[in-house]
Amino acid sequence: MNTPRTVGPPRWATHVLHWLCPPHRAEELEGDLHELFQQRVKAAGLHQARWRYVRDVLSLLRPSLMKREKSDQPKPATTTMLRNYSKIAFRTLIKNKGYSFINIGGLAVGMTVAMLIGLWVYDELSFNRQFRNYDRIARLWQFVKFDVEKASYDVLPIPLAEELRSKYPDFEKVSLSVTRSVILAAGDQKFTKTGSYVEPSFADIFSLNLLSGTPSALAEVNTILLSESLAKTLFGSTDPLNKLIRINNRQDVKVAGIYQDYPVNSAFTDVTFLAPWTLFVAVDEGAKRDQNDWDSNSYQIFAQLKPGIDVDLVSTKIKDVRMKRDNPPGYKPEFFLHPMSKWHLYNEFKNGVNTGGMITFVWLFGVIGVIVLLLACINFMNLSTARSEKRAKEVGIRKAVGSVRSQLIAQFFSESLLMAMLAFGLSVLFVQLALPVFNQVAEKKMLILWANPLFWFAALGFSLLTGLIAGIYPALYLSSFQPVKVLKGTFRANRLAAVPRRVLVGFQFTVSVTLIIGTVIVFRQIEHAKNRPVGYSRRGLIEIGMNAPELFGHYTVLRNDLLNTGAVAGMSESSGSVTVQYGGTTDISWKGKKTDTKPLVMSNYVTHDYGKTVGWQVKEGRDFSRDFTTDSSSMLLNKAAVKLMGFNHPIGEIIRQSGKEYTVIGMIDDMVKEDPFKPVNPSFFAVSYRNVNTINLRLAPHLSATEALAKVEQVVKRYSPDTPFDYKFVDDQYGQKFGTEERIGRLAGGFAILAILISCLGLFGLASFMAEQRTKEIGIRKVLGASVFNVWRLLSREFVILVVIAFCLAAPLAYYILSDWLQNYQYRTELSWWIFALAGAGALMVTLLTISFQAIKAALMDSVKSLRSE
Per-residue pLDDT band at 600 (split at 50, 70, 90): confident
SS (H, E, C) 5-65: CCCCCCHHHHHHHHHHCCHHHHHHHHHHHHHHHHHHHHHHCHHHHHHHHHHHHHHHCCHHH
Query: Would the pLDDT of 6 be above 70?
Result: no
Determine the distance from the C-alpha atom of residue 468 to the mean position of all C-alpha atoms in its chain, rounded to a whole number.
27
Per-residue pLDDT band at 1 (split at 50, 70, 90): very low
How far apart CA 622 and CA 663 sit, in angstroms, is: 12
For 152-185, the pLDDT digits (tens) are: 999 999 999 999 999 999 999 999 999 998 889 9
Per-residue pLDDT band at 865 (split at 50, 70, 90): low
Q: Give the pLDDT mean for 12-31.
A: 74
Q: What is the DSSP string of 351-383?
A: TTEEEESTHHHHHHHHHHHHHHHHHHHHHHHHH
Q: What is the DSSP string of 214-250?
A: -GGGGGSSSEEEEEHHHHHHHHTTS--TT-EEEETTT
Highest mean pLDDT, choosing among 65-79, 276-290, 784-798: 276-290
For 472-506, the pLDDT digits (tens) are: 777 777 677 666 665 555 555 555 556 777 787 88
Query: Would the pLDDT of 3 be above 50?
Result: no
The answer to which of 96-110, 390-404, 807-821 has the lowest mean pLDDT is 390-404
Query: Would the pLDDT of 767 be above 80?
Result: no
267 by DSSP, 3-state: which? Answer: coil
The reported pLDDT for the residue numbered 313 is 95
Q: Give the pLDDT mean for 324-338.
A: 88
For 813-858, the pLDDT digits (tens) are: 999 988 988 887 878 888 888 889 988 888 888 888 887 877 777 7
The answer to which of 312-326, 489-503, 512-526 has the lowest mean pLDDT is 489-503
Per-residue pLDDT band at 85 (split at 50, 70, 90): low
Residues 6+ apart with CB under 8 A from 820: none
Contact by Cβ (8 Å): 252, 245: yes
Query: Could you give the count of Cα atoms lying within 13 Å of 112 in the half-sphere of its Cβ?
Result: 26
How far apart CA 474 and CA 383 sit, in angstroms, is: 9
Q: Parallel, antiparallel, or unpaired for β 189-198 and 634-638? A: unpaired
The answer to which of 43-57, 66-80, 338-352, 620-634 has the lowest mean pLDDT is 66-80
Query: Comparing 351 with 770, which gets the higher pLDDT?
Result: 351
The answer to which of 310-314, 637-641, 746-750 has the lowest mean pLDDT is 746-750
Q: What burial letters (b/e) apply to 186-215, b meaning 16+ CB within 10 Å? A: beeebeebebbbbbbbbbebbebeeeebeb
This prediction has a pTM of 0.76
The reported pLDDT for the residue numbered 511 is 87
Longest CA span, the chain: 143
The reported pLDDT for the residue numbered 699 is 94
447 by DSSP, 3-state: which? Answer: coil
Share of the chain above pLDDT 70, in %: 90
How far apart CA 866 and CA 870 sit, in angstroms, is: 7
Query: Comparing 387 with 563, which gets the higher pLDDT?
Result: 563
The reported pLDDT for the residue numbered 4 is 44
For 686-742, the pLDDT digits (tens) are: 999 988 989 999 999 998 999 999 999 999 988 888 788 889 999 999 988 888 888
Q: Give the pLDDT mean for 462-468.
A: 81
The answer to which of 97-101, 341-345, 368-372, 601-605 has the lowest mean pLDDT is 97-101
SS (H, E, C) 200-213: CHHHHHCCCCEEEE
Query: Average pLDDT over the chain, rounded to whole?
Result: 84
For 532-545, the pLDDT digits (tens) are: 889 999 999 999 98
For 270-293, the pLDDT digits (tens) are: 999 999 999 999 988 888 989 999
Query: Would the pLDDT of 269 be above 80?
Result: yes
